[in-house]
C-alpha cells in the first residue's frame, strides 16, 4: 500500500490502495482508490484504460451481486426448511407441483442494442432477433400481478418483436407474444386465451375445456401445497422473489462483463495491430 508505481506492465492485486501510478499501461483491480493515473500517453491507451476501468466496475458489481444472491438464497432455504418442518416433508415436494398448463407470472424482457464501437454488421432482410456477442443485452424482470397487468422493473422499449421461426400470437391491443411456428391452430388459440384471458387469476385456475385443447391460465404456486400453508413458506416465497430480481441484475452484469472483455480484446488488437494478450502488451 502507498507505493509509487514506477514501471508499467504488471497486474496488481485488489487490496492495494492509495497508490500513484506514474506510468501508463498498467492494469489494476478496481478496488484501488485514490490513484492518479499520470502519463496517459496516447489517446488510444487512455481509451483502453477507461474501457478497462468500466469493465472492472462491471466485474466488481457482478461479484457483489453474487454475494447478495448467496445470502438471499440461504435465507430462502432456511425458511423452506422451517416450513417443511412445520408442515411435514411430504407437504412440500416435487410430486405436488402442478402439471396443468399454466403461464409463468415472472418473465424477462430482453433488449439487444449494438454496443458502442461495435462494427456494423450485415443483417438479413428478415430482420431476425439474433443478438451477437457485439450487442449490449439488457434483461428486465416482468411480473404479472393478480389483476393480469404486467409490471416491469425496467421498462423495456416497445419495439416490434422479431424472432426466427416464431410468429406473433396476440389479441388486438395486447402485448405480442412469440410462439413456435409449428404449433397447430388449436394450440395457438389456446395460447392466445392464456395470454389474453386472465380474468380468473385470483384463484388457482382450473382448466376449462371449451375446446378439445384445455384453456391455459395462471396459477398460484402456494396453493399447490395446500389451502393453509406455513407462514415460513410465504416468507420463503418472498425471499426467492427477491433472489429473482438479483438474478436478473446478475444476468445484466454478466453480460456487461463478458461484452467488456470482448471489447478489450478488440481494442488491444486494434491498437497493437495483432492478436496479443494484455500481458504482452504491457511489456512493450
Applying the rule CB under 8 A, the residues between 160 and 219 that interact with another protein are 161-166, 175-178, 180, 187, 190-191, 213-214, 216, 219
> What are the DSSP calls for 124-152, one per residue?
-TT------TTEEEEEEEEEE-TTS-EEE
Decide whether 3 or 168 has the Cβ nearer to another protein: 168
Decide whether 54 or 143 has the Cβ nearer to another protein: 143
Q: Phi, psi at residue 49, to the nearest 5°?
A: -60, -45
Q: How many CB atoms lie within 10 A of CB 180?
A: 13
109, containing H or E segment: strand 106-114
- Asked if 112 interacts with another protein (CB under 8 A), we say yes
Decide whether 42 or 146 has the Cβ nearer to another protein: 146
Instruction: Give CA–CA dist 238/135, Å, rounded.
Output: 33
Expressed in angstroms, the distance from the first to the final Cα of the chain is: 25
Among 6, 15, 125, 172, binds another protein (CB under 8 A): 125
- Asked if 113 interacts with another protein (CB under 8 A), we say yes
Q: How many residues of this chain interact with another protein, rule: CB under 8 A?
A: 100
Among 159, 208, 211, 269, binds another protein (CB under 8 A): 159
Chain positions 265 to 284 lying near another protein, rule: CB under 8 A, are 277-279
Among 8, 26, 251, 281, binds another protein (CB under 8 A): 251
Decide whether 53 or 108 has the Cβ nearer to another protein: 108
- Asked if 154 interacts with another protein (CB under 8 A), we say no
**Contact assessment for residue 129 and residue 112, using Cβ atoms and an 8 Å cutoff:** yes
Measured from the CB of residue 7, what is the shortest distance to another protein in angstroms? Answer: 17
- Asked if 232 interacts with another protein (CB under 8 A), we say no
Measured from the CB of residue 181, what is the shortest distance to another protein in angstroms? Answer: 10
Decide whether 37 or 225 has the Cβ nearer to another protein: 225
Chain positions 56 to 95 lying near another protein, rule: CB under 8 A, are 59, 62-63, 66, 69-70, 73, 76-77, 80-81, 92-94
- Asked if 11 interacts with another protein (CB under 8 A), we say yes
80, containing H or E segment: helix 43-87
Instruction: Give CA–CA dist 265/176, Å, rounded.
Output: 38
Q: 113-133 in b/e burial notation, b at 16+ Cβ within 10 A? A: eebeebeeeeeeeeeeeeeee
Q: 58-77 in b/e burial notation, b at 16+ Cβ within 10 A? A: bbbbbeebeeebeebbebbe
- Asked if 157 interacts with another protein (CB under 8 A), we say yes
Instruction: Give CA–CA dist 178/239, Å, rounded.
Output: 30
- Asked if 101 interacts with another protein (CB under 8 A), we say yes
Amino acid at each position: 500500500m502507498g507505493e509509487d508505481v514506477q514501471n508499467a506492465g504488471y497486474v496488481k492485486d485488489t487490496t492495494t490502495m492509495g497508490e500513484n501510478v506514474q506510468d501508463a499501461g498498467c492494469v489494476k483491480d478496481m478496488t484501488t482508490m485514490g490513484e492518479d493515473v499520470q502519463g496517459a500517453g496516447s489517446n488510444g491507451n487512455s481509451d483502453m484504460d477507461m474501457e478497462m476501468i468500466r469493465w472492472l466496475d462491471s466485474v466488481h458489481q457482478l461479484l457483489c451481486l453474487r454475494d447478495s444472491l448467496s445470502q438471499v438464497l440461504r435465507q430462502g432455504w432456511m425458511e423452506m426448511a422451517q416450513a417443511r418442518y412445520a408442515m411435514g416433508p411430504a407437504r412440500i415436494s416435487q410430486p405436488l407441483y402442478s402439471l396443468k398448463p399454466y403461464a409463468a407470472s415472472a418473465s424477462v424482457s430482453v433488449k439487444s442494442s449494438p454496443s458502442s464501437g461495435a462494427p456494423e454488421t450485415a443483417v438479413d432482410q428478415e430482420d431476425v432477433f439474433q443478438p451477437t456477442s457485439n450487442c449490449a443485452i439488457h434483461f428486465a424482470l416482468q411480473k404479472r400481478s393478480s389483476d393480469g397487468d404486467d409490471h416491469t422493473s425496467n421498462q423495456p422499449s416497445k419495439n416490434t418483436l422479431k424472432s426466427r421461426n416464431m410468429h406473433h400470437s396476440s389479441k388486438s391491443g395486447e402485448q405480442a407474444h412469440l410462439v413456435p411456428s409449428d404449433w397447430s391452430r388449436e394450440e395457438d388459440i389456446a395460447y392466445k386465451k392464456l395470454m389474453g384471458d386472465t380474468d380468473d387469476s385470483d384463484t388457482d385456475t382450473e382448466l376449462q375445456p371449451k375446446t378439445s385443447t384445455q384453456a391455459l391460465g395462471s396459477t398460484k404456486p402456494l396453493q399447490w401445497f395446500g389451502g393453509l400453508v406455513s407462514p415460513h413458506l410465504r416468507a420463503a416465497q418472498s425471499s426467492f422473489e427477491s433472489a429473482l430480481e438479483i438474478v436478473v441484475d446478475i444476468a445484466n452484469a454478466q453480460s456487461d462483463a463478458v461484452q467488456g472483455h470482448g471489447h478489450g480484446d478488440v481494442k488491444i488488437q486494434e491498437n497493437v495491430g495483432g492478436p496479443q494478450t494484455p500481458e504482452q502488451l504491457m511489456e512493450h
